[in-house]
Amino acid sequence: MQANGGIDVLEKAARDVVKLNPDDNIVIALRDLQAGEQLADVSAPLTSQIARGHKIAVEPIRAGENVIRYGQIIGQAKSDIAPGEHIHVHNLGMGAHQQDYAYASANDPLPKIAEERTFQGYHRADGKVGTRNYIGILTTVNCSGSVARFIAEAAEKSGLLEAYPNVDGVVPIVHGTGCGMSGKDEGYATLFRTLAGYAQHPNFAGILLIGLGCEVMQVADLVGGRPIRPDGALRYMTIQSEGGTRRTIERGLAEIKGIAELANQVTREPAPISEITVGMQCGGSDGYSGITANPALGYASDLLVRHGGTTILSETSEVYGAEHLLTRRAETPEVGAKLIERIHWWEDYTERNGGEMDNNPSPGNKRGGLTTILEKSLGAVAKGGTAPMRDVYKFGEIVDKKGFVFMDSPGFDPCSVTGQVASGANLIVFTTGRGSVSGYQPTPCVKLATNSEMYARMADDMDLNCGDIITDGVSIEAKGEELFEILIRVASGEKTKSEELGFGGVEFVPWQIGAVM
């Protein structure tokens, strides 16, 4: 396993602890451990009970000295730490850290895979390929959200789609913004990109765009005379110009029927897997995330890139402290500098809003064994594999390059995924150690469990268990290949657990930047 530049030493499945890199001065507990236990890799008995996924000192660490995991600094000791002692929030803090960005110094291209692999997808007029065939009802403003839902509910109750078997459903895309905001700042531009990205997403066969009429985010500005969809499957209206709620619902149903007639003509046909774009996320992370599911996803990411596909890493605030691993993989120094510009933007953004970059990990992350944002970030970047980083994009900006890329976003999962979908992701892969539950219509979401205990408890929500990397000695490579095959099946129509459960109704969360007025 290559995790964050570390070396895999999971030599057998039933170990008590694992040391991830020869330079580490800690090990990770692989089971719940009791005080007084003597472990082979630790020079003294354990001083306290230690939960699985948590850190244990293997040698004396003085106050102020670096704590090393993955061969990287994850923070400094706040007090003297003895061998066998639990390392966590009580004795580990951030401390000062400097990174050597070494732009574009480790960006060797991965060898291409000549084998032609395909999936069954929906070919769109703009050349993109969808993995689903939904009709979207897109709202410009919160004020039109209820009417969008009314139209979708009326379409379902009336059985309108029964005559159109190739249509997967009607998805209302509603949100809490679009007005009470500036019409010319960064927040407006971000929302505009997000809505425009959804309007032309390949998983939508067509779009009904609904506004109220008096909002800041005007329908006319979004449409603007531009061919948002070259297939012509974009209809739009405002509630005020239609004469109110009932009339808007009546016309909306008529428009949905017209779009459905077009959408039903499209069927799944073979497409190269180079047309798959995967948004990669982790949420509810734990001490296993950087050992199991994230590296497995990284291996699958590399496989897709080698086949000509695209993977998107995001959550800028959750690669903080590990950005030097990405800048080394930048295709050019300029690409690496774009990421650092975003890091500096985030430092300023959090400071001016009274926050800090180390306000993460969350309480759940900490219960799972993660202590500092440096530690969490080092595990998070493992999702990105080893491929060169081809470019860095703004939130919701259309990804126009194949390969591994980065999209700027918050670490808040629904918001980050919203940006990835707007950028063109037609699949999402989400790793979780604590058990996050969510789904992201119109894009199917594949859930990966980092540990076997949580998978057994929440199997109805998880698509793949990566905990068997620990419990059964499954290799990172084998698990990555298993995930890769799942991605092809899901892209071809196999439903994910979140789809079967009906998720996706509340997970559209545009990034709100700027004053609410």
Confidence (pLDDT) at 2: 41
- The DSSP annotation for 421-432 comes to HHHT-SEEEEEE
Residues 292 and 151 in one domain: no
What is the crossing angle of helices 245-263 and 145-158, to 10°? 60
Confidence (pLDDT) at 359: 64
Global pTM?
A: 0.95
Q: Which residues of 121-153 are buried (b: 16+ CB within 10 A; e: fewer)?
A: bbbbeeebbbbbbbbbbbbbbbbbbebbebbbe
Confidence (pLDDT) at 355: 85
Under a CB-based contact definition with an 8 Å cutoff, are residues 425 and 313 in contact? no
What value does the CA radius of gyration of the chain take, rounded to a whole number of Å? 24
pLDDT in tens, the chain (517 residues): 344 443 344 443 347 999 999 999 999 999 999 999 999 889 899 999 999 999 999 999 999 999 999 999 999 999 999 999 999 999 999 876 677 999 999 999 999 999 999 999 999 999 999 999 999 999 999 999 999 999 999 999 999 999 999 999 999 999 999 999 999 999 999 999 999 999 999 999 999 999 999 999 999 999 986 667 878 789 999 999 999 999 999 999 999 999 999 999 999 999 999 999 999 999 999 999 999 999 999 999 999 999 999 999 999 999 999 999 999 999 999 999 999 999 999 999 999 988 887 766 889 899 999 999 999 999 999 999 999 999 999 999 999 999 999 999 999 999 999 999 999 999 999 999 999 999 999 999 999 999 999 999 999 999 999 999 999 999 999 999 999 999 999 999 999 999 999 999 999 999 999 999 9
Residues 285 and 409 in one domain: yes
Confidence (pLDDT) at 350: 92
- The reply to whether 481 falls in a domain is yes
- The DSSP annotation for 406-457 comes to EE---S-HHHHHHHHHHHT-SEEEEEESS-----BTTB-EEEEESSHHHHHH
Find the CATH number of the domain harbouring 50: 2.30.130.110
Residues 286 and 343 in one domain: yes
- The reply to whether 1 falls in a domain is yes
Find the CATH number of the domain harbouring 397: 3.40.50
Confidence (pLDDT) at 15: 78
| Neighbouring C-beta atoms of residue 401, cutoff 10 Å | 11
CA–CA dist 127, 202 (Å, integer): 9
CA–CA dist 287, 358 (Å, integer): 17
- Kind and range of the H or E run holding 303: helix 293-306
Angle at 286 between CA 284 and CA 290, to 5 degrees: 110
Handedness of CA 389, 427, 287, 449 (dihedral sign): negative
Residues 54 and 151 in one domain: no
Confidence (pLDDT) at 5: 41
Domain count, the chain: 3
- The reply to whether 165 falls in a domain is yes
Host domain of residue 35: 1-98
Residues 315 and 344 in one domain: yes
| Neighbouring C-beta atoms of residue 158, cutoff 10 Å | 12
CA–CA dist 365, 3 (Å, integer): 19
Residue that is last in its domain, among 265, 295, 329 = 265
Q: How far is CA 206 from CA 130, 136, 167, in A?
A: 12, 6, 10
Confidence (pLDDT) at 7: 34
Residues 80 and 152 in one domain: no
Residues 179 and 245 in one domain: yes
Reading the block at residue 102, the tokens are: 């070494």
